[in-house]
Chain A
Amino acid sequence: MADYILQVKGLCKSFGAVQASQDLSFGIQRGHIHALIGPNGAGKTTVLNLLSGELQPDSGSILLNSEEINKLPVHKRVKAGLGRSFQITSIFNDLSVAENMALAILAGRGHNFRFWKNAMAVDIVQHTLTEALARVDLSGRAEQQAGRLSHGEKRQLEVGMALVGGPQLLMLDEPMAGQGAGGTVELQKLISGLKGTTTILLVEHDMDVVFSLADQISVIVYGHCIASGSPEEIRRNSEVQNAYLGEH
């Protein structure tokens, strides 16, 4: 019996006449890197938004550690262990790189109604900031305003911020998008280094990355999951080949 960290059952979501998710079901096993692939407009980002709580499903259920989380707002789902990065990089452009990371570090640790002490001088920040920045290769950029980083560096910062909260399930929405070859290799190393400790749901267009990283792949076409399995099974699946891989 597989140990599922997250299960999605019969999820439906439509925007007017467009059915972004139709009776969508899949499960993510603990410790795996689980990739979601599918053609453009297949509804992959919608799935992430439904999981994170930014969108409410019309029907169906989402189970995190066998508990239904459908009704929880975004911040409660984060507390329950769901971390994410966005397809369009979303960091705090007006803050420095160090402040961005500090905010991510402090977010998961008690309330932030502390009005007097400098946030950067808080013990936990002092202890973990250097390492957290080094992990995503941004040590030299600490004082820079985050909005002025290169695209790749912003992406690294974002992934670093999602990691620092120690999420049980990390959702990465096209982390490789807009990365140069060097950045892709770096991020790939970072993600594979997390294997076993953090479960990852990866939405990615770069098939080389998906097939080299993923333990499990689910293929989504028109909001419906047409196949789930190991990279080998997916590669051999004729339905997938027709619907998707064949086009490439």
Chain B
Amino acid sequence: MTSAIPKTVIIIAGALFFCSLPWAADYFGEQYLISLFTRILIYSLAAVSLDLLIGYGGLISLGHAAFVGIGAYVTAIFFHHSFVAEPIAGIVAGSDNALLVWPLAIIISAAFALIIGSLSLRTSGMHFIMITLAFAQMLYYFAVGLEKYGGDDGLSLYSRNQLVGMDLNNDVHFYFVCLFFLTLFLFISHRLVKSRFGLVLRGAASSSRRIKALGIPERRYKLVCFVIGGAGAGLAGALLANQTEYVSPGLLHWTLSGELMVMVLLGGLGSLFGPVLGATAYLLLEETLAMYTEHWMVYFGPILIMVVLFAKRGLFGFLTQKE
């Protein structure tokens, strides 16, 4: 490849693109683009959080949707109880305040990640994939059984959360809130993978035997990574519940975990910015192909296979590779 593009150029171009999108959508009179790209931002956030696990921690989790779903359900349940003015379990008052509910969504997702992670990390490889999948499916069926919150049918929010100084029901405001959180999470993750913690984590993913020979108990580092990833996914879930003003057990289903994994692979494993590219490409392709045929997966599958075969480091790796 002679036409390698420096990483910073791609990142700046991406930032400019996302920042100017609402105005472009307005200019062309295509308002639906704002909500489409809001969805892209939220999925990007979830995909970046999964990239921390897979790309840096070597933790192939097929249950990442669980944390997205938990974040979304926390948001929806708090909203529901605030709406019907009845305390949750008769104790905690509901709320539609973003500054209260979103941190709670993050903390509760992280707490679940701590429990699931500390059990799952006793295994590795194929077993780890299976046990994370099993936990997520367990939570999925739990959500299906939540009759009080709509069970199978899911639960509607009648409005988005309240955020001081912002009107989240305004699509442009909400778009920039999502963009802010994606940028923040990318920045934090970028620092994280370069830190001492990140170095140990990448080392453990590269050679578990060697990291032990250096006297480092690797499991606790992987667990912290798993929890941080779960927290990011929880935030994505809270935002997703706000965007669609609706949550359903589908958010915890393994198919969403699979989609997120495809976004990470498509964009480039272990590159943080790649998954943003991956999520964008995935959702735009899905949107475009679905306009022509309802069997869009038939065309989507081969495209994915081509990318994985010919750009082993994903779209981001393809654009930035040096050789």
Contact = CB atoms under 8 A, between A and B. Distances in A.
Interface in A80-119: 83-84, 86, 90-95, 99-100, 102-104, 106-108, 112-119
A91 B206 CA distance: 8
B199 A106 contact: yes
A38 interface: no
Interface of B: 191-192, 194-200, 202-203, 205-207, 209-217, 221, 224
Contact of B195 (A84, A99, A118): A118
A113 to B, nearest CB: 6
Contacts of B202: 92, 94-95, 99
Interface residues of B, dominant DSSP: helix
Residue of A73, A92, A108 with highest tally of chain B CB at under 10 A: A92
Given A91-B210, A92-B206, A108 B195 contact: no
Q: Quick one: which of A94, A102, A165 has the most chain B CB within 10 A?
A: A94
A90 B212 CA distance: 11
Contacts of B212: 74-75, 78
B270 to A, nearest CB: 8
Interface of A: 52, 54, 73-76, 78-79, 83-84, 86, 90-95, 99-100, 102-104, 106-108, 112-120, 122, 161-162, 165
Contacts of A114: 195-197
A92 B213 CA distance: 12
A118 to B, nearest CB: 5
A104 B206 CA distance: 14
Given A106-B196, A107-B216, A116 B210 contact: no
A5 B211 CA distance: 24
Contact of B215 (A79, A90, A117): A79
Given A94-B205, A95-B202, A95-B203, A118 B194 contact: yes
Given A52-B213, A75-B215, A106-B196, A116 B207 contact: no
A14 B264 CA distance: 45
Given A103-B203, A113-B224, A115-B197, A90 B210 contact: yes
23 contacts: A74-B212, A75-B215, A75-B216, A78-B214, A92-B202, A92-B210, A94-B206, A95-B202, A99-B199, A99-B202, A99-B203, A100-B203, A107-B200, A112-B197, A112-B200, A113-B224, A115-B191, A115-B195, A115-B198, A116-B192, A117-B195, A119-B198, A161-B214
A115 B213 contact: no
B216 A119 contact: no
A114 B200 CA distance: 10
A118 B205 CA distance: 19
A84 B212 CA distance: 11
Given A100-B203, A119-B194, 9 more contacts: A75-B212, A76-B215, A92-B207, A93-B207, A95-B203, A103-B211, A115-B192, A118-B191, A165-B215
Contacts of B197: 112-115
A201 to B, nearest CB: 14
Contacts of A84: 213
A103 B215 contact: no
Contacts of B207: 90-93
A104 B203 CA distance: 10
A173 B214 CA distance: 16
A74 to B, nearest CB: 5
Specify which of B199, B200, B221 lies most central, judged by the most chain A CB atoms within 10 Å of its CB: B199
Given A92-B203, A95-B202, A104 B196 contact: no
A73 B217 CA distance: 9
B287 to A, nearest CB: 35
Contacts of A90: 207, 209-210, 213
A102 B214 CA distance: 11
B58 to A, nearest CB: 9
The winner among B195, B210, B215 for most chain A CB atoms within 10 A is: B215
Contact of A112 (B192, B194, B205, B221): B221
A74 B196 CA distance: 21
A177 to B, nearest CB: 17
Given A78-B215, A86-B213, A93-B206, A103 B191 contact: no
A106 B200 CA distance: 9
B195 A119 contact: yes
Nearest to B200: A112
Given A114-B195, A119-B198, A122-B196, A108 B210 contact: no
